[in-house]
Structure 1
Amino acid sequence: MRMEIQTVNNHINNSLILPSLIPPESNHSLNSSITPHSRSNSPASSNSEIEKDFQDLDLTSSNNQTLGGDLNNCSKSNGSLSGASSSSANTSNIISNGNTPNTTAQVKKRISSSRTSTRKARRIKFYRNGDRFYSGITIPVSNERYRSFESLFEDITRLLEDNVKIPGAVRTIYTMCGKKVTSLEELEDGQSYVCSCNNENFKKVEYNTSSQPLSILALTNKANNRLSKMYRPLSPLKNGTALGSNGSPMLTKSIELDNIVFPRIVTLIRNGTKPRKIMRLLLNKRNSPTFDHVVQSITQVVKLDTGYVRKVFTLSGTPVLQLADFFGEDDIFFAYGTERVNNSDDFKLESDEHKAIQAIRKTLRTAGTAYQGPKPKMPTKSKNTKPVPIDPKLEDEESTLNNIGIDASELPAAIRENYVLGQIIGDGNFAIVVKIKERKSRLPYALKIIDKSKCQGKEHYIDAEVRVMKKLQHPHIISLLMEVDQPAIMYLVVDYVSGGDLFDAITRVTRFSEDQSRVMIRHLASALAYLHSMSIVHRDIKPENLLVELDDIGNVTQLKLADFGLACEVTEPLYAVCGTPTYVAPEILMETGYGLKIDVWAAGIILYILLCGFPPFVSPDNEQEPLFDAIISGVYEFPDPYWSDICDGVRDLIANMLQSDPDVRFTSEDILDHYWTMGESS
């Protein structure tokens, strides 16, 4: 494949721009899926208030039995929702005094006649943005209960936290078509909506609308024993569910998910005519919090002719009965529907099936091979920055202004009055970077001076960088403190990082220890997880764009992500081919559309380089065509002697970050959840 590469000078950054290139719902236990907190000090968010508002719903509707159950048997206990209300409590008092209504209908009539239209709550169902497995929550919404969106957001956030992993607080509500809801009055009774955290964009997925409505925070649980967050019934999909004396599932103390679920890729064999279809699936804490969720994920991937996956077996034919079975030694599973298992031959692999599985594991098979020929080298630095001499005389502000060709009177007043200019620390094609100090605090910062006349036609990259950086506030991302936009020059005041960029650090050290590499990949993955939670892709992750702080002996203590000229929000697949050749993901080169996970691929390349000093995909004389062929093939090695002293854990992490198929490639959160990143041995 032959491709032309056009150089895009992103201010100081010469980034390369290439020309263009649900299933049926499983039976969830409502007790285990809804666990709102009871806050005695917050009347607007207490469970008793939710109960009260649910009683304000129209009990004469067709759902009145589901909602209220037997009104004469309603009761209320602390911390649980039983469907009882103050009205039903008053009814109990009347009954105890001998003034018993003749029928349940009279009770309903009493409640209905005492209710005004202003107290009638709307029954609204909410889904988690982008989660096609979560069955949703339904809560009563009334003007008396929620005075503003903020109070509704607070309640929804608290309810979601007990059921799914969310990246932050609920900030936006969308209709099922993606239209933003701006007022409580727009929420219609009986309708469903999507709630978004941290201002995420609406994600159009097939939400799990086939499930039974969860109007039923007031559950028909006669014992009124709502399960606490730490207890869950055995999954209904497991064979041999244990039942208690009253016929209900026995409670088992749940094991914390952090101790069971970890990111891993499993291989799935679809039941059918041999040779059977083989697929892969990424399991992690987001899509595998329960056994049911994993089975639903498998159903989505394998698409059985018989519909829903009902039975899962290991390669040896052992039934998979609990969540932990998916995270044990086995990573190959057979997926069955309602069809029977005929005999042990069903679990034997044919030659073609065996070859397909081995091909999937081709990367891991290269571990331990000996490298032939001279050691590969790092590519040349892509930023054409001129070396800047470190001279104490350049600390003089007047000398600095003379060197950059700017008169003191031309400096914006906001910068001239608040900062003192120091030495030049970077000089590129479009911009100059100067070290500055705040006059009051004497704290160091960096001033980026962008000459607009040198980047005509590429002004949108400057605008994109400023627009994205204004949204960001993270300890491992360079912060934008001030921007001053003038007709000829753009001034940006940003964080100052004393250790320079990671490329220069690699050049000095050649390779880093596992402990040092772990610190850097943690910081980078944390920054990416933050970006990706906001649906922002960086698109140019490379050592030149990572700035580091060093301690007295030269160890990296801090890493910060910089240069957001190519960053953009992802609302649909992107096709613009951009990046730097060594770090570009295969889906960019193949022009099949890409998203957030291209940043994970680039981070995997960087982690590989940190540990051995050269990239996994190389080509003679930095020729692009063979380099792109190697990237698309996805075949690389962990050659000795460069990898002989490096543990299997980090090799496993790299192998999962450098998956050619983005669907099974790790996410940025998976990097943080991996046992090697967390410092565990296995």
Structure 2
Amino acid sequence: MSKNNLNGSRSVSSNSFNSFLSDGEIDSGLEDLSIKNHRPSSTSRTNKAKRIRFYHNGNKFFNGVVIPVAPERYRSFDSLTAELTNILTKSVTLPSGVRSVYSMEGKKVCSIDDLEDGKEYVVCGKGEVFKRTEYSKTDTLRPKRLSNSKFTVQNINVPKIISPDCVRPRIVTIIRNGIKPRKTLRLLLNKRNSSNMEQVLSAFSEVAQLAVRKVFSLSGQSITDLPQFFATDDVFFVYGNEKASQGDFELEFEESKAIQSYKKTPGLRNGAGPKPKMPKKELNRTYESEESLLKKLSEDNNLVLPLPLKKYSVGRMIGDGNFAVVRLCKDVTTNKEYALKIIDKSKCKGKEDMIENEVKILRKVHHPYIMSLIEETDTKNMLYLVCEYVKGGDLFDTITVAQKFSEDQASLMINHLISALAYLHNLNIVHRDIKPENLLVELEDNQVKLLKLGDFGLACEVTKPLYTVCGTPTYVAPEILAESGYGLKIDVWAAGVILYILLCGYPPFVSQDNDQEKLFDCILSGQYDFPDEYWQDVSPLAKELIQNMLQLDPELRFSAEDVLDHPWLQIAD
């Protein structure tokens, strides 16, 4: 497996490269997402701020949020929708973020000036049609007016939805009432769609295409309380206003077969016997590797840096790729070490947009578990990026030495990785190359104490389904191989593969004879297992989490936030 610790090696096929470039463009409005970290305090708000309540399109269970809107707070309408995305995605599901705003009458709002003080508006995601419904009306949440028409700040409460403790991410099977054999469907319940009984019924209704009013367990017990959906039963009958009879709870063969197929454990792979350890080299048809490396840059110990970077002294090479090398550098004033990535523009002909996209995203993201871009200098022939340096190297090397890890260590690393992914996905950014080589670790007494995500060469904003075939075969999600369109959850799949490796020392999907076509067949069919020889000491909770991260259906696969909500991750706390 070729290593890419902050280097320029990329996983993109030449046939799909033009498509990748168009997918990888980052909307300029994304730069305003960071503005919420610099909000003015309530004491500095001007009288011109408009108090606006925003509802979620078609969601009658969400009370909305009230925020002050002032020209000095938002530089553009895009910056307002970006902040609304950050606020609302903590409580409701907005896969593509806030894309449009409507008045309560259904008129589209296109600028901040169109928003009226004290009025209510509805936010919609990409491609959503405005829905007229009775949105929650809670007077205690409305700002109070004084005689001078100013708002009293102390009376304004931004509602926060807190899910009951019983709610956790869980996949359930529902059987829609009708003529036997009845339709069986699956649904992922989580804190964003199951905060109360009404929300669960609404989620069931959407999936079953039926106004669900009554729910029964497999034994025929009426389900009337939210905790019952998160207890032992995971199969439910759903009804509208029809009456249920005892015969309805007797399953036909086809119905039982469908339910059992959902419940089956991961299947055995091609043949039995011991599983191979971590592959030494990835066979990758999606990579178009170049033979030449930047020998001059990697061997020149007297490298002359441009004037803005004169404060750094350059040391040994710590990484290389097809069109870049990474060298250790040190601030001569503070003696602090950094990683200096040097990109040779002559090697990037036709790939300029990819490099620009990587830098653009690195400028925007700020997270404790994501590698930081310190500064950059662009010259005619070279692009220099000074990045955070993590001394422990990459996770690939750590796995090679340790082979496998305790659940405590694995939980800590996955917690850090998924926290970074949840942050990126909240910004609608997909990384697309999650693998151990791109995860940098900091060690203490031979234990991992910190993990950071790096290498954003394939990252892009998700505004529509993506189709570019890219990634690394061992970690690639099935929807990428199927070319059916993919989104944010491909990163969760790759993280699930890494979790599997951390706990046993080998990947879940492999080909015994290094046949890449067989590997892809295993991934597309979801064939992997938990043999006792390697897994007998691993907890059921860890296996359960892996199964939910490696769900073939992206709709049922856990999101990054779902993974963070899973009880196994609490081991790292």
TM over 0.5: yes
Are 2:562 and 1:662 aligned? no
Choose which of 587, 592, 617 in structure 1 pairs with 2:479: 587
User: Which residue does the alignment assign to 2:306?
Assistant: 412
Q: Any residues of structure 2 matched to 1:292-307 within 5 Å, and which?
A: 292-304=198-210
Decide whether aligned partners of structure 1 residues 457 and 405 sit closer, same or farther in structure 2, where only a CA change above 3 A counts: farther
Q: CA deviation at 1:135?
A: 4.6
User: Which residue does the alignment assign to 1:194?
Assistant: 123
Decide whether aligned partners of structure 1 residues 520 and 371 sit closer, same or farther in structure 2, where only a CA change above 3 A counts: farther
Which secondary structure state, in structure 2, belongs to the residue aligned with residue 456 of structure 1? Answer: coil
1:290·1:323 contact (CA, 8 Å) conserved in 2? yes
Q: Deviations over 1:396-439 (max 9, x none)?
A: xxxx998544865x4111111x2122222123332111111112
Are 2:392 and 1:492 aligned? no
User: Which residue does the alignment assign to 1:257?
Assistant: 163
User: Which residue does the alignment assign to 2:504?
Assistant: 612
Decide whether aligned partners of structure 1 residues 189 and 209 sit closer, same or farther in structure 2, where only a CA change above 3 A counts: farther
1:133·1:296 contact (CA, 8 Å) conserved in 2? no
Partner amino acid, structure 2, of 1:527: A
2:55·2:135 contact (CA, 8 Å) conserved in 1? no
Q: CA deviation at 1:459?
A: 2.2
Partner amino acid, structure 2, of 1:626: K
2:394·2:437 contact (CA, 8 Å) conserved in 1? yes
Aligned residues: 516
Choose which of 229, 235, 239 in structure 2 pairs with 1:336: 239
Alpha-carbon distance in 2 for matches of 1:371, 1:445: 47
Are 2:261 and 1:375 aligned? no
2:5·2:455 contact (CA, 8 Å) conserved in 1? no
1:262·1:327 contact (CA, 8 Å) conserved in 2? yes
* Structure 1: gaps of 5 or more residues: 1-6, 22-40, 50-117, 196-201, 220-227, 233-253, 387-399
Larger deviation: 171-180 or 560-569? 171-180
User: Which residue does the alignment assign to 1:283?
Assistant: 189
User: Which residue does the alignment assign to 1:451?
Assistant: 344
Q: CA deviation at 1:184?
A: 3.9
Which secondary structure state, in structure 2, belongs to the residue aligned with residue 565 of structure 1? Answer: coil
User: Which residue does the alignment assign to 1:653?
Assistant: 545
Q: Any residues of structure 2 matched to 1:150-165 within 5 Å, and which?
A: 150=73, 165=91
User: Which residue does the alignment assign to 1:214?
Assistant: 137
User: Which residue does the alignment assign to 1:357?
Assistant: 259
User: Which residue does the alignment assign to 1:556?
Assistant: 448
Alpha-carbon distance in 2 for matches of 1:206, 1:290: 25
Q: TM-score, normalised by structure 2?
A: 0.79
* Structure 2: gaps of 5 or more residues: 20-40, 143-155
Which secondary structure state, in structure 1, belongs to the residue aligned with residue 126 of structure 2? Answer: coil
Alpha-carbon distance in 2 for matches of 1:124, 1:574: 34
Partner amino acid, structure 2, of 1:376: P
Partner amino acid, structure 2, of 1:261: V
Which secondary structure state, in structure 1, belongs to the residue aligned with residue 383 of structure 2? Answer: strand
User: Which residue does the alignment assign to 1:270?
Assistant: 176
Decide whether aligned partners of structure 1 residues 172 and 364 sit closer, same or farther in structure 2, where only a CA change above 3 A counts: closer
Which secondary structure state, in structure 2, belongs to the residue aligned with residue 447 of structure 1? Answer: strand
Q: CA deviation at 1:194?
A: 1.9
1:138·1:214 contact (CA, 8 Å) conserved in 2? no
Are 2:469 and 1:567 aligned? no
Partner amino acid, structure 2, of 1:443: K
2:404·2:505 contact (CA, 8 Å) conserved in 1? yes
Q: TM-score, normalised by structure 1?
A: 0.67
User: Which residue does the alignment assign to 2:325?
Assistant: 432
Larger Rg: 1
Decide whether aligned partners of structure 1 residues 535 and 164 sit closer, same or farther in structure 2, where only a CA change above 3 A counts: closer
User: Which residue does the alignment assign to 1:126?
Assistant: 54
Structure with more relative contact order (C-alpha pairs < 8 Å, separation 6 or more) = 2
Alpha-carbon distance in 2 for matches of 1:157, 1:450: 34
Q: What root-mean-square deviation, in Å, do the aligned CA atoms of Structure 1 and Structure 2 show?
A: 4.2
Which secondary structure state, in structure 1, belongs to the residue aligned with residue 537 of structure 2? Answer: coil
Q: Deviations over 1:462-501 (max 9, x none)?
A: 1111011111000110011111111211100001011111
